[in-house]
Structure 1
Amino acid sequence: MSFADQGTRNDLSMTNKKNIEILKKDINKLSYEESISELEAILINVQDENISLDKIQINYIKGHLLLKHCEELLEFVEQEINEINPEFLK
């Protein structure tokens, strides 16, 4: 089940700091590909004309955290690439 489809215990409480920290921990376990898949699911979800304002807010928070996670993963890989000594590749 994706984060976008996952029902929360109480959608209104999703924005409280404790729940956001839990969500961050769950997202940090995802690979880059899994994170992109979750972002795609959120995009589909928010395109629903019948989506509630609460769901929009929740999807915004999840999307923001997923995007940040993807950026951090890409930065890490970029650093690793920059640290490769060209001599090792010969």
Structure 2
Amino acid sequence: MSKISKITNISTLSFEEALEQLEKIVNNLEGGDVSLDESITFYEQGELLKKHCAKLLQAAEDKVEKIRLGVDGSIKGTEPLIKS
């Protein structure tokens, strides 16, 4: 089982890197061969990674554009999914 090291700056991770670290944490916790102290540390770090992933997903959703269709069904352009 691959052990993970404590990440000092989660905010610099890409979504993919954070998700990979989160998967490693889950695997370690599911394996059941870590001490209680390690489990708590992994859980805390997992929560931070989960929040970071959620933040990155929200930022990506905010960039998604909705396609505007004309009356005849043709594409007339795009507009932001969320209007400011």
Normalised to the residue count of structure 1, the TM-score between the two structures is 0.65
Q: Does the alignment pair 1:46 with 2:60?
A: no
Which one of 9, 31, 36 corresponds to residue 14 of structure 2? 31
Per-residue CA shift, 1:49-72, capped at 9, x if unaligned?
A: 231111111011110000000000
CA distance in 2, matches of 1:34, 1:28: 11
Equivalence for 1:55: 38
Structure with higher Rg: it is: 2
Percent identity between the two aligned chains: 34
Structure with greater proportional helix content: 1
Equivalence for 2:50: 67
1:47 aligned counterpart, secondary structure: helix
The amino acid of 2:62's aligned partner reads Q
User: How many residue pairs are counted as aligned between the two chains?
Assistant: 70
Equivalence for 2:61: 78
RMSD of aligned residue pairs (Cα, Å): 2.5
CA distance in 2, matches of 1:76, 1:63: 20
Q: For structure 1, which segment, 28-37 or 47-56, has the greater mean C-alpha deviation from structure 2 after superposition?
A: 47-56
Equivalence for 2:4: 5
Normalised to the residue count of structure 2, the TM-score between the two structures is 0.69
Structure with greater proportional strand content: 2
- Post-superposition, which runs of at least 4 consecutive aligned residues in structure 1 deviate over 4 A? none
CA distance in 1, matches of 2:20, 2:33: 22
Q: Which runs of 5+ in 1 are unaligned?
A: 9-21
CA distance in 2, matches of 1:72, 1:40: 17
Q: Which runs of 5+ in 2 are unaligned?
A: 69-76, 80-84
